Amino acid sequence: MPGRVITILVFIFCYSLIIFRWLNIPVSDLTTEARVGVYGDAFSSRNVHSSAMWFTDIGYTKTKGLPVFNYTGNFNQSGTEVYTHYPPLPDILGGVYARILNTKDPYTIAVFPILLSVFFFFFLQIGLKKIIPDTSSAFISWVLLVISCYFICWADDLHQHLYTELLKWVYIYILYRYFTEDTKKWMLPSLCLVYFIQSWLTFESIPFLAIITAGFFIIFTRKFFSPTCFLLLSMPVAGVALHLFQNYLYFGDWQAVVEDMKGALLKRTTGETDNELGRAVRSYDFLKMWGYEFWFRIGRMFALPAISFIIISVFALKNLYRYHRIHFKMAIAFFIAGIAWIFIMPQHAVVHTFTIKHMGVFVAFVSGYGITHYIGLLKKHVIAKAYYWQIAHVLFLLYTIGGFLSNQGYYVYLKFGFAYPHFGTNANLW
* Residue-by-residue DSSP string for 378-412: HHHHHHTT-HHHHHHHHHHHHHHHHHHIIIIIIII
Question: Which residues share a beta bridge with 81?
Answer: 69
- Answer whether 70's CB lies under 8 Å from 47's CB: no
CA-nearest of 304, 306, 303 to 294 is: 306
Which range is least confidently modeled, 11-15, 180-184, 226-230, 366-370? 180-184
Instruction: Compute the chain's Rg from CA coordinates.
Output: 22
Is residue 232 scored above 90 in pLDDT? yes
Higher local confidence (pLDDT), 274 or 322: 322
Burial (0-12, 13-18, 19+ Cβ within 10 Å), 136: middle
What's the pLDDT at 379? 93
Query: CA 31, CA 426: separation in Å to the nearest integer?
Result: 10
**Per-residue pLDDT tens for 100-130?**
999 999 999 999 999 999 999 999 999 999 9
Average pLDDT, the chain: 92
Confidence tier at 179 by pLDDT (50, 70, 90): very high
Query: CA 91, CA 342: separation in Å to the nearest integer?
Result: 25
CA-nearest of 198, 183, 278, 280 to 232 is: 198
pTM of the complete model: 0.94
CA-nearest of 355, 351, 346 to 269 is: 346
Query: CA 70, CA 203: separation in Å to the nearest integer?
Result: 23
Q: What percent of the chain has pLDDT over 70?
A: 97
